[in-house]
Amino acid sequence: MKNGLALFLGVFATLALSWAGLLLTAHKQLGSLSQFKDPVEETLNPLPLSGLADQGRLVYQDLGCVSCHTQQVRHEGFGADIERKWGQRASYARDYIREKTVLIGHSRLGPDLRNVGVRLGDTASRDEYAEWFYSLLYAPQSKAAGTNMPSYAFLFDVHPTAGRQASYDALKLTSKFAPPAGYEVVPTARARALVAYLQSLKDTYDYPTERSLNTPAEISKEGAH
């Protein structure tokens, strides 16, 4: 084949250029995103994950929560995420810059968790939240009867209370979910980290710069009417 080299170079250049184009465009759009400073409040957003929440992210990854839960609120008009109250706004790329591995997920057997840290409302205290998450992880049926979310009871210690002070974060389980009399259910370090991570999931800040950039064209036209 006389033109073998030219053919090879042609194919190589085509593949290399399209690969570089794909990568460089994505990098230009997303690679340089950084924290945004609120012009009035002077706060930086998004806040980095706390050390404990960052460990919890690894537990979340490790236990495969991502196989049933997504972390991405879709735009209005692209699904009912906002009507379902999974978030007050769609997710922006900037929301994810604090995470080393973005756990967007791909199938939704359970609800989207991107804003699960505020699902009970602003008035719920941190402890009420933690208790809600712990009970759900220990005995999902106690919070959502009939759910197919598996139990993560192995993230908890069940031990006798005799001869020791009751633990401050022992679960307040009732009826058939309660441990036998004289026993308490206490979260392990992994459960604490996982729950700190779940509590950190809240994209409540709405970036003034992001809305127009991230709203698909058809919707921004509709909004202009």
| Identity of the residue, 96 or 133, whose beta carbon is nearer to ligand HEC in the bound complex | 133
Residue 90 CB-density burial (10 A; 0-12 exposed, 13-18 middle, 19+ buried): buried
Total of chain residues touching ligand HEC, rule CB under 6 A? 23
Task: Report the distance separating Cα 218 and Cα 202, nearest Å.
Answer: 27
Point out the residue whose Cβ comes nearest to ligand HEC.
110
The HSE-up count of residue 13 (CA atoms within 13 Å, CB side) is: 6
**Cβ 66 to ligand HEC, closest distance in Å?**
8
CB 114 within 8 A of CB 91: yes
> According to the binding rule CB under 6 A, does residue 69 interact with ligand HEC?
yes
Closest separation between CB of residue 57 and ligand HEC, Å? 11
Q: Which of 145, 119, 122, 147 is CA-nearest to residue 133? A: 119
Range in contact with ligand HEC (rule: CB under 6 A) among 18-26, 106-114, 170-178, 184-192:
106-114
Task: Tell me which residues touch ligand HEC (CB under 6 A).
Answer: 60, 63-65, 67-69, 109-111, 113, 116, 119, 133, 136, 144, 147-150, 152, 194, 198
